[in-house]
Amino acid sequence: MDNMVKLWKVLDGEGGGPVEAALRRSAEIAPDDWSEMGRKSNKFDTLFHQFPYFSTNKAHTDYVDCVQFMGDLMLSKSVSNSVVLWKPLAEDERRMYNTHRVPSSILFLREFKLDHCWSWYVRFESPSPYHRILACGNQRGEVKVWHIGGDDGGCHPEQKHFCNLPTSTSGWFGASSGGDCDQSTVRMVAFNPHGSHLVAVKDDSTVWMWDTAG
């Protein structure tokens, strides 16, 4: 729990490296084989990848609780009322300094303001593969939505959200335990695989869904 964002290179070299070898080995495992021979053959060592490829504390000054890739870029969020879009400059720093130290330089691209969101453990999402939109909830029961990608697949982020979805007037909700729906924190949002629906879950045990294609 700190303000660091770390990246690990899990596939390295022509053969993919030790992580790729571990993935191939795991595919050979038969979890339903409970015979003595099966138990012996199903054993394999856990791979520990200790050292990161990139590590930075330059994107945030407080706890980081959500990170997502956006192609070669990163979206990350702290407890400071914003989601940040930035680019890790790992290769640029390695070439510039010709050193084996872990790179930490970033290129800051855009900050998406998210009022009333200083609480820990609030998750955003930008659905792949095109990352056209970004959604995140806050502590007032609202879901903010931004345009961040164009139809051409490029990155064209708009800093101000274009949509505010209050969970007291629209959407569908499931089982509720009561409480003040307006002020209950939205903990997590998620899009369906086609990006046509957005779902949010709140601290008051309600689930909300919107049709984003309409």
User: Is residue 176 assigned to a domain?
Assistant: yes
Q: Which CATH number goes with the domain that contains 200?
A: 2.130.10.10
Into how many domains does the chain fold? 2
Whether 28 and 58 map to the same domain: the answer is no
Sheet with 106-113, strands from edge to edge, namely 64-70, 73-78, 82-88, 106-113
Query: Residue 189, Cα to own-chain centre: how many angstroms?
Result: 11
Whether 65 and 131 map to the same domain: the answer is yes
User: Is residue 3 assigned to a domain?
Assistant: no
Whether 128 and 203 map to the same domain: the answer is yes
Whether 31 and 87 map to the same domain: the answer is no
User: Is residue 202 assigned to a domain?
Assistant: yes
CA of 134: how far to CAs of 107, 112, 191, 197, 198, in Å? 20, 9, 10, 13, 11
User: Is residue 4 assigned to a domain?
Assistant: no
User: Is residue 200 assigned to a domain?
Assistant: yes
Query: Residue 160, Cα to own-chain centre: how many angstroms?
Result: 20
Tens-digit pLDDT string for the chain (214 aa): 689 999 988 777 666 777 788 777 777 776 666 566 555 666 667 778 788 989 999 999 999 999 999 989 999 999 999 999 999 998 877 777 767 788 999 999 999 999 999 989 999 999 987 788 899 999 999 999 998 865 554 556 666 777 788 776 544 444 333 444 467 999 999 999 888 899 999 999 999 999 887 6
Whether 39 and 112 map to the same domain: the answer is no
User: Is residue 138 assigned to a domain?
Assistant: yes
What's the pLDDT at 28?
74
- Owning domain of residue 153: 54-211
Predicted TM-score (pTM) above 0.85:
no
What's the pLDDT at 152?
52
What's the pLDDT at 212?
82
User: Is residue 1 assigned to a domain?
Assistant: no
